[in-house]
Structure 1
Amino acid sequence: MAKDRLQVLAAMMDQGVIPVFYHPDTEVCINVIQACANGGAKCIEFTNRGDFASHVFLEVNRHFVKADPSVIMGVGSIVDAPTAGLYIANGTNFVVGPMLNADVAKVCNRRGIPYSPGCGSATEVSYAQELGCEIVKVFPGSCVGGPEFVKNIKGPMPWTKLMPTGGVDPTEESLTKWFKAGIVACGIGSNLITADLLKAKDYKGIEKKVAETIALVRKIRGH
């Protein structure tokens, strides 16, 4: 069973950086996710990107329920309600999508699962909030206006909690721009868990990179 919705949302915001990751090999996923958790990123977005991805997710989630229950597995790239339901049945703690789908919101709300849909306009963000989405994803972050988009949304809608993915780099310059604009968290994929680190199976390197990025966010926030 998934963790409490409010606890998951609080953990996502406290963490600040959500690693976004997919790999078809269960063992690689377990090692990468454990490295992220060891580096301070307990919330991980596993993207629904390949054939049998839900089977990989199930095996990985089962592993962490026993091996390290502090890990909060979520799923990304969800575009329809049946797929959301499949991952909810497999124990996902949060659902993220590249776009807004009202049916996904209903399925998630019914089961107390946080849903962060990808939005790129004030109207979409507002509709997501109407559907009960607490943290709204900005996607693709760099294409819809970057940090300026966040500032412009939060002007008339200051209650809005935004989480960009796409266009966020694990550098002080990039993270400072986004967090100073008012985001509550961000998703970072291949810029954080790089192809080179993956190819080398350098899990200690991934842990170090994640830890440095989490520390950067804490510094920017003044924590």
Structure 2
Amino acid sequence: MMLTSLDPRVNRLQVPAEWPDLPVKNQLDQWATYEVFAQKRENTAYAYVGPVHAPDLEVAFLFAKEQYSRRVACFGLWVVKTQAIQHTPYVNDNELVWGMINIPAAIRPAEPQQPFEIFILKKRGKAHTHAGMVMASDYPAALAVAKEQFGDQAPCVNVWVMPAAQVFKSAEEDKDLWLTLSEKKYREPVAYKVLDKINAFKTRTISNP
């Protein structure tokens, strides 16, 4: 007996309804997830655009470039493994997450320190945006320092913290990665100059009623 489905592609595969004994798959043998942040305009903050699945960080960057920068303006990409991100609880839009952060200074040793990138979410349903970088010894310390530096930024319903060393960042000299080739102009709406054509049409219509 074959497996039946509403999807004709499954029916064409002629899959047995009862599978023979198969080796058990190892847990977590799939590609890892990576989170992608893009800079959509030059000299603006990086913002979260979505995840990708990839075997390593460099391949994740390539996938991110294809997924999130082919059809939109992009001046830079940051990619980080999902597991490298720690975050605060989410609060409602009318609340401030910084008020939930209370980390004693005693657990924040001065040495050694490393840079952490801080992303904040101003409203549910929006994207996390880069607030800045802090120096700290670990995640809790980074969050405490972030509260001191960015706690006056409201509204704020969630905070992401990640070690800067684990973020794959496009370099300043890599901007030519996103230059649109002349034969790809059709992918950019601005290349069609629609507004110019509309204005020209209006002008002809008014001149020749």
Normalising by structure 1, what TM-score?
Answer: 0.24
Q: Which has the higher contact order (CA 8 A, sep 6+)?
A: 1
> Which structure: greater strand fraction?
2
Normalising by structure 2, what TM-score?
Answer: 0.25
> Which structure: greater helix fraction?
1
- Flag the structure with larger Rg: 2
